[in-house]
């Protein structure tokens, strides 16, 4: 006999079945900021595709954790996905230089699909020019960058402004993961 708690938990765990998410990757991503959200959305049933500049390349995180790109950026079509995750670390400084990454983020923004960004990931959203008037958080180290891009910056663990979900740093991963999953669960499927 299942307990009420187990039944409720089991139902919640799979609420993202049928959803597809892009997780961007490049060298020196912050290991936890990539893998925690990826595992979190997979636990609830979503399919997550790791995407890098080169399909099949293994990228190494700041602390040595590998991530193999299952797809290249150029293979992706934003209309086939329900959300996108941008990790922190030093990877965002590289990711924002790829026109296809900026195109994907802009298209997700235009379609109001969940965009998750943590720590330095805000750099990608800045380069995509989608932060004007948006309330966000990030590592305090890029606060000026975020504000100069027109964002309203808050020093809070997680900030949700419509479809943009932002967090500061690894200790904020639990509420960030939940907030991204909540946004993904309520997002309209194409």
pLDDT value at position 188?
75
Q: Is 117 helix (H, G, I), strand (E, B) or coil?
A: strand
pLDDT of the residue at 189: 60
Q: How far apart are CA 50 and CA 20, in angstroms?
A: 11
Per-residue pLDDT reduced to its tens digit, 101-150? 999 999 999 999 999 999 999 999 999 999 999 999 999 999 999 999 99
Domains and CATH numbers, the chain: 19-186 (3.40.50.880)
At 190, is the pLDDT very low, low, confident or very high (cuts 50, 70, 90)?
Answer: low
Catalytic residue among 5, 39, 109, 120: 120
Closest CA to 36 of 185, 167, 188: 167
Q: How far apart are CA 35 and CA 91, in angstroms?
A: 14
163 is catalytic: no
pTM: 0.93
Instruction: Tell me how far apart the alpha carbons of residues 111 and 188 are, in angstroms, rounded to a whole number.
Output: 10
* Average confidence score pLDDT of the chain: 94
Contact between 93 and 25 under an 8 Å Cβ cutoff? The reply is no
pLDDT digits (tens, 9 = 90+) for 18-44: 999 999 999 999 999 999 999 999 999
């Amino acid at each position: 006999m299942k307990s009420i708690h187990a039944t409720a938990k089991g139902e919640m765990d799979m609420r993202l079945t049928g959803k597809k998410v892009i997780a961007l990757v490049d060298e020196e991503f912050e290991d936890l900021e990539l893998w925690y959200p990826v595992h979190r959305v997979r636990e609830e049933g979503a399919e997550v595709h790791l995407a890098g500049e080169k399909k099949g390349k293994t990228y190494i995180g700041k602390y040595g954790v590998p991530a193999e790109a299952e797809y290249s950026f150029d293979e992706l079509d934003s209309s086939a996905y329900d959300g996108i995750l941008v990790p922190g670390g030093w990877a965002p400084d590289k990711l924002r230089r790829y026109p296809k990454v900026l195109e994907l983020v802009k298209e997700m923004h235009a379609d109001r699909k969940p965009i998750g960004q943590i720590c330095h990931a805000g750099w990608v959203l800045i380069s995509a020019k989608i932060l004007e008037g948006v309330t966000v958080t990030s590592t305090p180290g890029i606060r000026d960058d975020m504000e100069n891009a027109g964002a309203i910056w808050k020093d809070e663990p997680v900030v949700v402004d419509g479809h943009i979900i932002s967090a500061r740093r690894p200790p904020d991963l639990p509420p960030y993961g939940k907030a991204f999953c909540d946004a993904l669960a309520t997002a309209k499927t194409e």
